[in-house]
Amino acid sequence: MNRAMLRFLKIQAAFALVVLANFGIFMAYDSFSVLISSENGSLPEMKDKLAHILENPRDNDSPVILDHCKLPELDPWDPSIRYLLNSSFDPFENCTPARLVTKLEDGKLYTVGIGNDVECHYRCLYPVSDAASRPGEWEVIVNDTEVQCDVVETACYNLTIGNYHQIPEFDAMHAQVYRKGNATPPSNEPTSTRPPDVHIIILDAVSYSEIVRTMPKTRYVLRTYYDAVPFRHLNKIGHNSRPNGIALLLGKALHPIEKSPMSVGHESDFKNHSDCTEPIDKDQFIAYEFKKAGYTTMMSEDWAMGIFQWPDCVGFKKTPVDHTLKPFTMRLNIPDGSRLNDNLYSKMCRSCHVTQMEYLEDFIDKYPDEPKFSITWNTHTHDDINVPYSSDEYFYNFFKRNVNKFDNAYIFFMSDHGMHVGDMPHTTIGQIEIRNPFLYMTIPKSLRDDEHTQTMLRKNTKELITHYDLYATFIDILQSANASIPAPNVMKGTSIFKPLPQPRTCDRLGVPFDYCICDFEKTPLPNNAEPSRIAAEKMVKRINAVIKQEAMLAEKCEELALNENRTIQVQRFSKDGDITIYQLTFAVLPGDGMFLGYAGAKHNGSDVFILSDKFVRLGTYAKTAYCATKSSFAQFCHCKKQMKEDAESSREQKLIENLTNATIIVS
């Protein structure tokens, strides 16, 4: 065979290989045609999906069971929970507001209706860290006194009484956003050419179903005036506010997910509890990212410890934002703060969320010429599923009044998790709602008619998402305005403005099975059906092991035992592989606390084992766990010495009642 012929044959062979390779790729592409049909996106989106499929073998050969997701369709007014709903709930019914004798208006302080025998003083409270604030010197109030700080305390004394400067006759707190210097007059430049504002407004412990049934007027104004987009399938990633808040605001996983039949295992992004024992000033806090991009930042929380300090953590050693209400809430939590609390809220027929929303509104007004980023975290909704009914009118008016101010803003109106407290978690519907916090998002007016943006958002509203995805969304907003901004080191989620990787299952998104909202087929079994007793006893044994190992619990908390006089509720999942999964709800003694957990067994009924690495406590436990308020494992505790109902213990009770149940990690 001559050399020319040999070269020709080699070329033909090479060509054939290329054709076969391309045919193979085409066949692979075609085999996923259902996933990447024209109904599911553009050609670039289809290529992204194909690349994801080829890079993720778990899609077709998952090493874990139940690695699929049917999203639930909940009825907010399900007949099984109607007895819990009270649309006329009003905590201030028949309340007559008291009169404050000091007021802060347009940055100036005034006294109102006091006689010559009363003298009023004020002082500023300055932020220092998550654990400290610095009080200024007391000064006499002269009407029109300019206040050069965000938080001011006032106290008025009757000069005819000999307790001057000891017990005030009237005292109060006021808040504003104090901007040093004058605001730059808004230019003729269109607002839309400046980076958009971003505002995160959180109502603690409110599920998607709860916002639907309790706040119709607020939803109306958001949908009608803002074209707000509801995300129905936000899944919490942890039991309480702290892990969900860290996912939302740091983009990180607080707790690991143990490897199990339902999970490949996921590590925590913190080693040796560094999230708590070390300052987080150098972490990827989302407000830092916006500050680096030129934004003015604000954060307000209505409880003193806050998301980064609870239960007994360092948090920020230096105030992380330009404006904060931290000194305000800290002042209300020192020993004599209860009087101030009463003066500001119960006596004024006023909820704490009003102070926060007024602070946010003032923040927006004081910086009309600068891009703004804010976090407003309110917990007034935390303890009762009916509280949002009474808040609907306020938020309706707030959003309607400020509609033009939000023309160039993203708003994330949302929650961290659903309701933990009361009877709701004991219902089947409540166990799903607790995992499904609400989210409504609005975008700048300039983007509301953008077809690509709207198409992507409409598609992603039907997807399972997490707080990790929202952190990624915040970064995406920054990078959309400035592509040179680098992404933080840890990015677990995907922006909801982009195609979301498929398939979306709880384990792939870093959601523990215990908190997964996916609707797996389950069959209710008779109470106490096997292997429920064996499984429940093993769960109690594991809880007791945590109590013995945890330093804050070992000497203070009783050893628990299964309450054999209470039934064990059992549901069996449909078979997946060679394991049968059971969901159990059981009670323990002392205290009759209720827990929910998951167990597995071989199909032959042997080898019962625990699948949960978290046990969810149903209902409140404030009175029985008062001695463990600083422990992340407080929900396991029944204090050996039960406290009396007296004034001395009321403050500790109130503290733990204000804290969400702790996430429990057991090994």
Cα–Cα distance measured from residue 353 to residue 375, given in angstroms and rounded to the nearest whole number: 13
Amino acid at 343: N
CA nearest 242: which of 665, 627, 664, 663?
A: 663
Cα–Cα distance measured from residue 217 to residue 208, given in angstroms and rounded to the nearest whole number: 15
Cα–Cα distance measured from residue 436 to residue 518, given in angstroms and rounded to the nearest whole number: 10
* Residues 13/19/23/29 CA torsion (nearest 10 deg): 130
pLDDT at 237: 98
- Domain at 196-514, CATH class: alpha beta
Global pTM reads 0.85
Evaluate if residue 49 carries a pLDDT over 60: no
CA nearest 247: which of 235, 259, 258?
A: 235
Q: What is the pLDDT of residues 362-421, one digit of tens each?
A: 999 999 999 999 999 999 999 999 999 999 999 999 999 999 999 999 999 999 999 988
Evaluate if residue 20 carries a pLDDT over 80: no
CA nearest 175: which of 390, 32, 359?
A: 359
**Alpha-helix residue ranges (DSSP H) falling in 343-386:** 352-366
Please enumerate in sequence order all residues whose Cβ is within 8 A of that of 162, keeping only pairs 6 or more positions apart, or say none: none
Evaluate if residue 23 carries a pLDDT over 50: no
Concatenate the DSSP letters of all residues of 513-541 into one string.
GGG------EEEE-TT-TTHHHHHHHHHH
Please tell me whether the peptide bond between 196 and the residue prior to it is cis, using omega within 30 degrees of 0: no
Q: Assign 639 to helix, strand or coil.
A: strand
Evaluate if residue 358 carries a pLDDT over 80: yes
Q: What is the pLDDT of residues 231-261, one digit of tens each?
A: 999 999 998 999 999 999 999 999 999 999 9
Which pair of structure tokens corresponds to residue 179?
A: 């901007």
Evaluate if residue 191 carries a pLDDT over 80: no
Please enumerate in sequence order all residues whose Cβ is within 8 A of that of 449, keeping only pairs 6 or more positions apart, or say none: none
Cα–Cα distance measured from residue 365 to residue 372, given in angstroms and rounded to the nearest whole number: 11
Average pLDDT, the chain: 86
Helices (H) and strands (E) in the chain, counts: 17, 24
Q: Assign 490 to helix, strand or coil.
A: coil
Which pair of structure tokens corresponds to residue 2?
A: 């001559």
pLDDT at 552: 87
Concatenate the DSSP letters of all residues of 287-321 into one string.
HHHHHHTT-EEEEEESSSS-TTTTTT----SS--S
550 φ, ψ (degrees, to nearest 5): -85, 120
Which pair of structure tokens corresponds to residue 637?
A: 């505790």
pLDDT at 61: 60
- What 8-state DSSP symbol labels residue 2? -
Q: Report residue 495's pLDDT band, with 50, 70 and 90 as the boundaries.
A: very high
Cα–Cα distance measured from residue 323 to residue 291, given in angstroms and rounded to the nearest whole number: 12
Q: What is the pLDDT of residues 459-494, one digit of tens each?
A: 999 999 999 999 999 999 999 999 999 999 999 999
Q: Of how many residues is the chain composed? A: 667
pLDDT at 8: 47
140 φ, ψ (degrees, to nearest 5): -70, 135
Tell me which H or E stretch contains 122.
strand 118-127
Please tell me whether the peptide bond between 531 and the residue prior to it is cis, using omega within 30 degrees of 0: yes
Classify residue 632 by burial, with Cβ atoms within 10 Å: 0-12, 13-18, 19+.
buried
7 φ, ψ (degrees, to nearest 5): -65, -40
CA nearest 214: which of 42, 306, 116, 81?
A: 81
524-554 as b/e: b if 16+ CB within 10 A: ebeeeeebbbebbebbbebbbebbeebebbe
218, 395 Cβ separation under 8 angstroms: yes
Cα–Cα distance measured from residue 390 to residue 413, given in angstroms and rounded to the nearest whole number: 17
Lowest mean pLDDT among 237-246, 318-327, 389-398, 567-576: 567-576
The share of the chain scoring above pLDDT 70, in percent, equals: 84
**Hey, which residues does 122 pair with through a beta bridge?**
139, 154
Q: What is the pLDDT of residues 67-108, one digit of tens each?
A: 999 999 999 999 999 999 999 999 999 999 998 899 999 999
234, 208 Cβ separation under 8 angstroms: yes
pLDDT at 588: 97
Q: Report residue 185's pLDDT band, with 50, 70 and 90 as the boundaries.
A: low
Which pair of structure tokens corresponds to residue 10?
A: 């080699």
198, 474 Cβ separation under 8 angstroms: yes
Cα–Cα distance measured from residue 646 to residue 541, given in angstroms and rounded to the nearest whole number: 34
Please enumerate in sequence order all residues whose Cβ is within 8 A of that of 471, keeping only pairs 6 or more positions apart, or say none: 247, 248, 249, 250, 251, 286, 491, 492, 493
**Hey, which residues does 139 pair with through a beta bridge?**
122
Tell me which H or E stretch contains 96.
none
Q: Report residue 163's pLDDT band, with 50, 70 and 90 as the boundaries.
A: low
Evaluate if residue 441 carries a pLDDT over 90: yes
Cα–Cα distance measured from residue 224 to residue 201, given in angstroms and rounded to the nearest whole number: 19
CB neighbourhood size of 144 (10 A)? 11
Evaluate if residue 596 carries a pLDDT over 80: yes
Concatenate the DSSP letters of all residues of 399-455 into one string.
HHHTGGGGTTEEEEEE-SS---SSSGGGSHHHHHHTT-B-EEEE--GGGTT-HHHHH
- What 8-state DSSP symbol labels residue 557? B
Evaluate if residue 51 carries a pLDDT over 60: no
Evaluate if residue 649 carries a pLDDT over 50: no
Cα–Cα distance measured from residue 631 to residue 599, given in angstroms and rounded to the nearest whole number: 26
Please enumerate in sequence order all residues whose Cβ is within 8 A of that of 619, keeping only pairs 6 or more positions apart, or say none: 420, 421, 422, 423, 425, 426, 593, 594
What sign for the dihedral angle of Cα 333, 337, 339, 343? negative
Which pair of structure tokens corresponds to residue 193?
A: 């050419």
* Residues 137/140/142/143 CA torsion (nearest 10 deg): 80
Longest Cα–Cα distance of the chain, Å, equals 123
